[in-house]
Amino acid sequence: MKLRDAIYDAVDLLSDFSTEDLRQRVMGGDKMAKKVRTFFSSSNQLAFRLTMAHKIKAMRERLNAIANDRNNFQLVEQPLQRRVETRERDQTHSFVGEEEVIGREDDKKNIIDLLLNFDVEENVSFISIVGIGGLGKTTLAQYVYNDEKVKTYFELKMWVCVSDLFEVKTIAEKILGSATSTKLENLDMDQLQNKLRTELNQKKYLLVLDDVWNEDNEKWCNLKRLLMGGLKGSKVVITTRTKLVAEITSTILPYNLEGLSEKQSWLLFKQMAFKKEQETIDPNLEVIGKDIIQKCQGVPLVIKTLGRVLYFKKTEDEWSYIKDNELSNVTRGENDKGILLILKLSYDHLPSHLKCCFAYCSLFPKDQEIPKLTLIQLWIAQGFIQLLDEKISLEDVANEYCMELIWRSFFQEAEDDHLRNITSFKMHDLIHDLAQLISRTECTLVNSNAIRVNEKVHHLSFPSYNVFEKNLSSFVKAKKIRTFILTSYSSLYDEEVEEESTLNKLISSFRCLRVLDLHGLNIVTVPNSIDKLAYLKYLDLSENDIEVLPSSIIRLLNLQTIKLSKCGKLKELPRGIQKLVNLKHLDIYGCDSLTHMPSGLGELTSLQTLQLFIVSKDTVGSSSKHCNGLVEPNKLSSLRGELQIKNLAWIKDVTSEAKAANLKDKHHLRNLKLSWNWDDNNEAHVRDAEILLEGLQPHHTLKYLDVEGYQGIRFSSWLPLLTSLVHLRIWKSDCLYLPPLYQLPNLQYLYLQSLASLEYISDQEIIDEVFPPLASSSTTFFPSLKSLQLLDCPNLKGWWRRDIVKDNSDNYNEDVPTMTSTLSHQSQHHIPLPYFPCLSYLEILNCSKLIYMPLFPYLEKGLLLNNANLKPFQQTVEMMMVPSSSSAYPPFSKLKHLSLSQMQDIESLPEYLLQNLTSLEYLEIWGCPRLKSLSQFMQILTSLKKLQIGDCEEIDLFNDESDDATQCVTTLQVLEISNVPRLINLPEWIKNLTSLRRLKIDECPNLTSIPKGFSSLTSLQNLQIWRCPNLSSLPEGINSLTSLQNLQIWRCTNLTSLPEGISNLTALQRLQIHGCPNLISLPEGISNLISIQKLQIHSCPKLISLPKGIGNLTSLQWLEICGCPNLTSLLEGIGELTSLQTLEIDGLPNLTLLPEGIKNLTSLQRLKIDECANLTSLTEGISNLTSLQILAIRNCLNLTSLPEGMCRLTSLQSLMISKCPHLERRCQEGIGEDWPNIAHIPNFQYHF
């Protein structure tokens, strides 16, 4: 401990020297002024040297004392462990190994059986998966969560990691965030629970609560109450290490997860410990390995981690030493402690340079995604990275460290970007426990209940700034803190003054900081005292409300990283920024208010990160605070990652500035976006734009190029030279011509949008590109292209200029479509159209003139044609067979998704077009007004799962279909038909669609009946019949739809009744009847719908009564009765609906009283009464509604008063009254007669 503290102080001492030296070198001004300023400053050299001399002397005395202790205690000196030379390995092996699930197939099946089990009493069931840490509970839950059966069965799926801190509000936020894919902020608990209930209500959902530790039953019940609104069959899966948690949470027996078998353990161990391609294994190592896995207790995490340790041990002696000496010292136990000790062996065998890096990761909370670049910058700021080769940057070395820790299983769940570069990862919670165990004297992750921290700690992280501020007086005693990190987002203060004073206290207390993270705090002003943090290397101010940074920030001479991303109000960067000579990373992504770059930016020659460079509209040299245009980036040769240059139309001297930018020498740059200010009034000439783009040639290693608003006619000639390019996006451009792109060997994604003037993709003839005898190159045509999007190019005619497609539409005996090219000597050559060998996805939108292009027979992911010409599709189909190096198969035989939208001229899809679509799973046809038939499509598309057809007025879907049901495709799961006027009957063969789960029929005005065979659809779960005015009845066979969960009937104006057979739909959970003006009654059998949770009856004016047995619907949670003017009363049986949470009564003008039974609705949370003109009073029984939270009363003109018992509704949070004239005066604040009964309600509103 003494040595550690001394080393830290010695490093600070050396930093003092280097900082002072740096300050002297970067100080501006003439020599005399500099001398005078220095003499009178705190940095007086005489004083500085005297102070340093005393510090050096004291440090030498401390180190000598420690050296004497070493001799006195006979401590042994060990050489510094050098970086381990790793074996050559397959880089993809670790990621495959991490993702593979071994030995859990039976467990997966058992859990899925529990999830799909409908025979349960409660609507929402809770299932716990219990097992020790590292056993694979989370992996098993993920395995199940992503299963296709599970995806289909549940309407909504959510995943939340809970971990140690069990705060109901935080968990509810996470659940709602997962459900809506949005981030929620600044919601109080009442708003939050209302939104959550609304989102879950009447949906069959799956929620996974991963890594639950809470053993407080009251906290669990508070959360459970928020989750009970789902439909019957909803499930909550909890993964936990403790059986007590399972007993508290589970409604069924917990699922106890066992360890892997010996055979499964050995399979996993082999993947980790030996090379992937290794065919034979030394039998002696195998014997030792099998002995080792006996000690792993079948725990996958332990097996993986030990396997990675042994991967680096080459000899039998090394393996034996691990088994006999190190593993034998580990106590075998059933708890996590024994496993942690085994995992610690993996840490002990880490090279020394990785140990401190791994320990530092304990500052991140469990299950938090750790951004790789952020972690690298933090490691560098702390000096953890060893640079052995000056030709390799610290960032590259740190990246190797990350990859090493991933490969050794210390990091997992790695995420990558579109270029397949890893961007983030997580730590398993046991690995996190290990990191905390070994770093407890160095790093502290402060939780919300912390009161104080160890004064000797050096690295602190906080879940929010409020935790720090609340205990500021105790935390500031840790004077030697070098890291201050915020791990989440939270607002700081409402008052700027209080905020700034707290920040000043932080700065003055922690002078040794290397890392300061203040992101997401709504900070408006950064204190000038920030320059007191002389050692600071990493400063994160992102996502704040800062408009201007303090000028003092340029005195932070050691600063390497400044993060200002998403500071949307930031107007400018500080002047004198060139003095930050160590700055490597300037993150200004999303700083949309910046108008210019500061002068001197180009002097930061170490700069690696600069996502945004903004060209100023001001004339060059007009303001000293503005940079000198594209001259500034000239020397920034170390830039890497992403760079966007905006407002290029404002460049004046295009020739000199383009050359000055020197993009060609920036060989670390991977992502470049060039943006012309499309909407401005600049009248730059086309030629200027072309010269500028030509001069902005990037290095050939560029991976991603995005060009927006380019105003030139021709694109630059250097584009084909970008041989590493993977993504190319050109949009909102006046470009007429593009250079040859076909030979770009690595291009995978090509995106062309809003090129209004473009007529041809290539300005060359086909023979110059792809005809081998005449072409200058025989390179494969677009060898890597996977995705092609041609969007909003209204004048695009074809791929090549001056070539004419030979039309084979009348001659299907010719296998390959050809083009006719006229050469200079007037002879003609028929040239086969080339094809994209790897293209998987093609989208053509609003390119109706495009009639020929390269063929695309190998599409798999999707073909989307919207307002496009069908000829390219037909040309590809006519290519009956395309030679391939490995195999040959018919065009489109692997295509899974076909979408045809707004195809104005298409009249039919002939059989020859459909016959190859043997893999098609999703067919979508919309807005094809002249389409008349799909010839035999139900017999041909044998893999079809989803069919959507809409807005096709002329189509007769089933006029030529075979009556032989055995020929009908049986794989269809979703069938949606909308606005098909010629649909009169559904075909008899519909009974063969035994896999159908969803059927929607909408706007089919001539549909009169549904066939009896409808009763065979035993898998049907969702039936929607909308706007079919001539449909007078539903078939009696509906009683056989035993899987039906959702039945919606909307605006079927001739429907007079529902069949009695509806009583057999015991799985039905939602019944919605809207706009059926001739419906007279509901069948009495509706009382048998024991699973129904939501019943809505809207706009049925002839309905005069509700079934007497409605009180039997004990599962009903939501009841709406609206627009039924002939209903005079609600049944007393309504009082039996004890599960009811929402009751809405609207448009019942003859209703005079609410039934007394309403007093029994103790679960009711929302009550809405609207347009009940003759309702005179609310029953006093309303005072029993102890769960009521929202009450809305509108347009009840004769309602004279509110019940006195409303004062007892203590849960009521919101009361809204509108257009109830008698209540206006009675509810006036302080003076109204009813005011004492409603004064306790937090949110009361009266609207006239």
Does residue 882 have a pLDDT over 70?
A: no
Which has the closest alpha carbon to 537: 606, 451, 443?
Answer: 606
Asked if residue 328 belongs to a domain, the reply is yes
Helix (H) or strand (E) holding 1001: strand 998-1002
pLDDT at 546: 93
Beta bridge partners of residue 223, listed in sequence order = none
What is the strand order of the sheet 156-163 is part of?
156-163, 205-212, 234-240, 124-130, 255-256
- Among 46-60, 142-156, 783-797, whose mean pLDDT is lowest? 46-60
Q: What is the pLDDT of residues 1058-1072, one digit of tens each?
A: 888 888 898 899 999
Express the helix, strand and coil content of the chain in percent, nearest 5 each. 30, 20, 50
Residue 937 forms part of a structural domain:
no
Domain stops at, among 469, 486, 503: 486
φ, ψ at 1210 (rounded to 5°):
-75, -15
Distance CA 855, CA 846 (A): 19
pLDDT in the model for residue 1202:
93
**In terms of domains, do 322 and 237 share one?**
no
Average pLDDT rounded to a whole number, residues 197-210:
88
Same domain, 742 and 783: yes
Q: What is the pLDDT of residue 774?
A: 39
Give the confidence band of 776 by pLDDT, cuts at 50, 70, 90: very low
pLDDT at 375: 96
Does the structure show a pLDDT above 80 at 275? no
Helix, coil or strand: residue 353: helix
Judge whether 756 lies within some domain. yes
Residue 959: pLDDT band with limits 50, 70, 90: low
pLDDT at 294: 79
237 plus 274 within the same structural domain: no
pTM for the model? 0.79
Task: Please give the pLDDT value at position 666.
Answer: 92
Residue 496 scores a pLDDT above 50: no
Q: What is the pLDDT of residues 94-125, one digit of tens each?
A: 222 335 578 788 889 999 999 988 777 778 89
Q: Say yes or no: 114 and 206 in one domain.
A: yes
pLDDT in the model for residue 92: 24
Q: Which H helix or E strand runs over 307?
A: helix 300-311
Residue 996 pLDDT > 50? yes
Confidence category of residue 754, pLDDT binned at 50, 70, 90:
very high
pLDDT given at position 812: 36
| Domain-embedded: residue 1178 | no
**Are residues 305 and 171 located together in one domain of the fold?**
no
pLDDT of 85? 39
CA distance 1185 to 971: 49
Could you tell me if 250 and 266 lie in one domain? no
pLDDT at residue 481 tops 50: yes
Instruction: Indicate whether 400 and 425 sit together in one domain.
Output: yes
691 in Cβ contact with 711 (< 8 Å): no
pLDDT of residue 1180: 87
- Rounded to whole angstroms, the Cα distance separating 228 from 1030 reads 40
pLDDT tier, 1124 (very low <50, low <70, confident <90, very high otherwise): very high
- Three-state secondary structure of 112-162: HHHHHCCCCCCCEEEEEEECCCCCCHHHHHHHHHCCHHHHHHCCEEEEEEE
User: How far from 948 is each of 154, 1009, 1023, CA to CA, in Å?
Assistant: 21, 20, 15
Task: Answer yes or no: do 277 and 233 share one domain.
Answer: no
Q: What is the pLDDT of residues 802-811, one digit of tens each?
A: 544 444 444 4
Asked whether residue 668 is assigned to any structural domain, the reply reads no
Report the pLDDT averaged over residues 129-135.
82
Query: Is 944 inside any structural domain?
Result: no
Give SS3 for 898.
strand
Q: How confident is the model at residue 331 (pLDDT cuts 50, 70, 90)?
A: very low
The CATH number covering residue 364 comes to 1.10.10.10
Question: What mean pLDDT comes out for the span 674-684?
Answer: 68
Concatenated DSSP letters for 408-429? TTSSEEEEE-TT--EEEEE--H
Identify the weakest region by mean pLDDT among 638-642, 821-825, 976-980, 986-990: 821-825
pLDDT, average across residues 22-30:
64
Do 332 and 452 lie in one domain? The reply is yes
For residue 266, being part of any structural domain is answered with yes
C-beta of residue 536 within 8 angstroms of C-beta of residue 505: no
Same domain, 297 and 244: no
Among residues of the chain, what percentage have pLDDT more than 90? 37
- Of 235, 256, 277, at which residue does a domain stop? 256
- Sequence-distant (6+) residues with CB within 8 A of 820 are 803, 804, 805, 806, 828, 829, 830, 831
Computed over every residue of the chain, the mean pLDDT equals: 82
Band (32; pLDDT cuts 50, 70, 90): very low
pLDDT confidence tier of residue 450, bands split at 50, 70 and 90: low
In angstroms, the CA 819 to CA 805 distance is 4
359 vs 956, residue with greater confidence: 359
Mean pLDDT value across residues 1175-1190? 90
Q: What is the pLDDT of residues 1000-1018, one digit of tens each?
A: 999 999 998 888 778 889 8
- Per-residue tokens: 873: 């599709």
Summarize the confidence of residues 196-225 as an average pLDDT.
Answer: 87
- 358 near 347, Cβ under 8 Å? yes
Residues 149 and 117 in one domain: yes
Domain hosting 55: range is 2-72
- pLDDT at residue 821, as a whole number: 46
pLDDT exceeds cutoff 90 at 1: no
Q: Which segment of 33-37, 206-210, 283-287, 694-698 scores lowest on mean pLDDT?
A: 33-37
CATH code, domain with 164: 3.40.50.300
Check residue 217 and give its pLDDT: 85
Residues 242 and 296 in one domain: no
Decide if 875 is inside a domain. yes
Number of domains in the chain: 4
| C-alpha to C-alpha distance for 647 and 1049, rounded to whole angstroms | 55
DSSP helix/strand/coil, 844? strand
207 pLDDT exceeds 90?
yes
User: What pLDDT score does 82 carry?
Assistant: 44
Which of 51, 72, 93 finishes a domain?
A: 72
Q: What is the pLDDT of residues 1137-1169, one digit of tens each?
A: 988 999 999 999 989 888 888 989 999 999 999
Residue 1039: which residues within 8 A CB-CB, separation 6 or more?
1015, 1059, 1061, 1062, 1063, 1064, 1065
